[in-house]
Chain A
């Protein structure tokens, strides 16, 4: 049973346009969400996070939106750059009092075309 789902295994976007990566979750105990970027042969790099008390968090070109009622979050990258080409993982962590473990989605391969 996948508690965090990234239904699009790949996405191609033209340089300068917006990239939108989506993530759905099923566990209502999740209250902290993160996006990681991963290049081949490297470990995931933390990108941006959002707590369930917010519905939006922005950091430069990256914005994460959280819709708790729909159990859906998305990562917007604008403008997209060729260096953004990587696998993007959505991850979720449950409420305080637990071990704060992360559950990851299966990833979306983003390709930004020059």
Chain B
């Protein structure tokens, strides 16, 4: 069964350092999402890509976070410099969905998540 791959699984860093997370979505999935999940809360969207284009990055703290999906396949999320409050689980998800039209509730809408990267900032 195809899965979303993420690495590393765990990352410990000191504040002010740079960190990067990698995600490889399910083959053929056009849409890729990065979420941040703080303990005790649900995942919150940081950025959404459709192929190589950013669809929405309104919740991405752009002073320190950046994300790219240069060839429309795998993606990298970077934090520079990391702060204590960035400690969280960073989740990548992908869906088949192409475009924003079409019947809601189709299988193409379902997002499939990777195992996540647990970031600890000391």
Q: Which residue numbers of A lie inside 8 Å of B, CB to CB? A: 4, 31-32, 34, 36, 41-46, 49-53, 89, 91, 93, 95-102, 104-107
Contacts and interface: CB of A to CB of B under 8 A. Distances in A.
B75 interface: no
B57 to A, nearest CB: 11
Contacts of B102: 96
Contacts of A36: 113
Nearest to B41: A106
B109 A32 contact: yes
Main secondary structure of the interface of B (DSSP, over half): loop
Identify the 9 closest CB pairs spanning chains A and B, nearest first. A51-B105, A104-B42, A43-B113, A32-B105, A43-B116, A44-B113, A43-B115, A32-B104, A31-B104
A32 B106 CA distance: 9
Contacts of A4: 42
Interface residues of B, number: 33
Contacts of B33: 101-102
Interface of B: 4, 6, 9, 31, 33, 40-45, 48, 55-56, 91, 93, 95, 97, 100-105, 109-116, 118
B110 A49 contact: yes
Contacts of A96: 100-104
Contact of A104 (B43, B56, B109, B115): B43
